[in-house]
Amino acid sequence: MADETTVRRCIGSMRFGIEAHDAPVGDFPKQPSQKNSLGRMCREHWNQYTAGLARDAKARKAAETGDAALAVPENPGGSPGEPEPSRKRWRAEAPVATAEAGSEGDAG
């Protein structure tokens, strides 16, 4: 096998179809909580993994609320290894109720 100081094993993810492989140490992000201060996945696959987690969380939230607008298609990026392009959506905040609207007429 190659020298351990130049090559490291990216663990991959079965859940998102990311195969484990050997990659140069420079491809791994810094992870201070690990013994050797390096992450367990290379940068490219870490980005794919976290994007997949975000898609799953969004789909789970849509399923809980029954909101079809939040639903994410099964394969938005094309191939299973491609992350979805980054998009930001801004939502308008709900109007704040005034004290006058709810205080009168509650004699029930």
pLDDT-above-90 percentage for the chain: 35
Q: Say if 100 falls within a structural domain.
A: no
- List the domain range (segments joined by +) for residue 59: 1-76
Structure tokens, 60: 């789970």
Q: Say if 24 falls within a structural domain.
A: yes
Q: Say if 89 falls within a structural domain.
A: no
**Mean local confidence (pLDDT), 60-80:** 66
Work out how many domains the chain is built from and give that number: 1
Q: Say if 21 falls within a structural domain.
A: yes
Contact (Cβ atoms closer than 8 angstroms) between residue 83 and residue 48: yes
Residue 67 has pLDDT above 80, yes or no: no
Q: What is the pLDDT of residues 9-55, one digit of tens each?
A: 999 999 888 999 999 999 999 989 988 889 999 999 999 999 999 99
Per the prediction, the chain carries an average pLDDT of: 75
pLDDT-above-70 percentage for the chain: 56
The label of the residue with tokens 């130049």 reads 6
Q: Say if 45 falls within a structural domain.
A: yes
What pLDDT is recorded for position 1? 45
Contact (Cβ atoms closer than 8 angstroms) between residue 42 and residue 10: yes
What pLDDT is recorded for position 36? 86
